[in-house]
Structure 1
Amino acid sequence: MISSNLIPLDALSRLPMAEIASLPAEELARLQKEADAALRQAKLILACLDGALTQKYADRAKAARADVQKDFGVARFQDGAVTVVADLSKKVEWNQGKLAGLVDRIKSEGEDPHEYVEITYRVAERNYTSWPLNLRSLFQPARTVRPGKESFELIVDGEGV
């Protein structure tokens, strides 16, 4: 039997945050579980819909871009009374090894590579933590640690791992 005191998931967006925060932990756990399930379902539905739209319109969008000699970007066309706006973004990836070679070449020719490329340095945290202390101490002044977004999972006793 479902208690009439249970807050429906769709009512949460209309409640003040303080009121939600004051709910019992068991109720928050139930709402979190329902919200996670609803999100998974919504993502599944969205993936199905996106797949159907791609199947239906990808060829027309490609043809519309070809008409204006574009491989990427926005294509607009009509399907009855509906304007379809298909946006194909461009994802460019650069080969880091080849770029490093080009930077060296630009330097050797007396040019400043910073005029042509942005150079970013990264250190994998897993690598950093496995280094010897003397090496880590060299890098420490260049390292800043900020907290990420904290998350909470509520598990009702006896229901979870």
Structure 2
Amino acid sequence: MNDLSIFPADIAEMSVSQLANLPAQQLVEVDTNLDQAIAWLKAARTKLDGALDQRFGAQGRESLRADGRDFGTSHIKADGLHVKFDLPKKVSWDQKKLKILAERIVASGEAIESYLDIKLSISEARYTKWPPALQQQFSDARTVEAGKPSFVISNNSEV
């Protein structure tokens, strides 16, 4: 990060209105420095998480296995520390295979909702290419809301 004229503690103490009223150059500085700080913190967090896994991960996994589990939370004592080790279960489903199974469930006369959570969606790119008559059929099921705005600011000389 470059030389700061507004420090992170100053930003934390400022109201949204105060930040909005900063001179243009300071607004660019705050935006740039926060982006750099976020990137640095994400990289540092990733590195520390890797170091913690290297140091305590094997003990945490062994503690889970000793309890007959592959996933979950265990507590270990190591190097004078109490370490809460959490290894979550991450499940993914093969969509093509699920579609085949869903078709079998429907063909057997069963209610698919008894077995599967169904979420239907239509990509906006696909929807906008449809003919108006087809769009009209789906319009009652479609809600359009504004997302979170994003901004990229820079000095005029940098454009």
TM-score (norm 2): 0.87
What amino acid is aligned across from residue 85 of structure 1 in structure 2? K
Report how many aligned residue pairs link the two structures.
Answer: 157
- Aligned residue in 1 for 2:33: 34
User: What residue ranges of structure 2 are gaps of 5+ in the alignment?
Assistant: none
1:104 partner letter: E
**Separation in structure 2 between the aligned mates of residue 103 and residue 124 of structure 1, nearest angstrom:** 22
Shift of 1:14: 1.1
Moved over 6 A (4+): none
Give CA deviations for 1:92-151 in whole Å, capped at 9, x if unaligned: 112223223323323333322212222111112222223333332322221111111111
CA deviations on 1:42-91 (whole Å, 9 max, x unpaired) are: 11111111111111122111111100111111121111321111111112
**Which residue number in structure 2 is paired with residue 144 of structure 1?**
143
Q: Which has the higher contact order (CA 8 A, sep 6+)?
A: 1
When the two structures are superposed, what TM-score results if normalisation uses the length of structure 1?
A: 0.86
**Which residue is equivalent to 2:70?**
71
Which is worse superposed, 55-64 or 125-134?
125-134
Alignment partner of 2:156: what SS? coil
Distance in 2 between the 1:20 and 1:107 partners?
57
Q: Secondary structure of 1:61's partner?
A: helix
- The residue aligned with 1:8 is 7
The residue type equivalent to 2:134 in the other structure is L
RMSD value, Cα: 2.1
Identity of aligned residues (%): 32
Q: Does 1:100 align with 2:99?
A: yes
Unaligned regions of 5+ residues in structure 1, if any?
Answer: none
**1:9–1:34 Cα contact (<8 Å) kept:** no
CA distance in structure 2 between the partners assigned to 1:10 and 1:156 by the alignment: 24
